[in-house]
């Protein structure tokens, strides 16, 4: 997961419409949400896969 997690960065692209919602365009909420998801995945995969990564190969 750690090595594949950068693919989540594609989800952060401004893909949604610009309809304002609570002061932010919808695409900004989407990008922020995807960045948050990437952050969470990164934190958990570092926790689970660090040892495996450092010893692998």
Residues that bind other proteins in the complex, under the rule CB under 8 A? 2-3, 5-6, 9-10, 12-15, 17-18, 20, 22-25, 27-28, 31-32, 34-36, 38-39, 42-43, 45-47, 50-51, 53-57
Cα angle, residue 23 at apex, residues 21 and 14 outer, rounded to 5°: 70
The total of other beta-carbon atoms located within 10 Å of residue 5's CB is 16
Residue 26 in tokens: 């919808």
Residue 27 in tokens: 């695409």
- What is the nearest approach in angstroms of other proteins to the Cβ of residue 21? 9
- What is the nearest approach in angstroms of other proteins to the Cβ of residue 23? 4
């Amino acid at each position: 997961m750690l090595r594949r997690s950068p693919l989540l960065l594609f989800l952060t692209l401004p893909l949604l419409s610009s309809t304002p919602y609570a002061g932010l365009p919808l695409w900004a909420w989407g990008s922020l949400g995807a960045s948050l998801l990437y952050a969470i995945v990164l934190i958990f995969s570092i926790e689970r896969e660090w040892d495996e990564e450092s010893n692998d190969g």
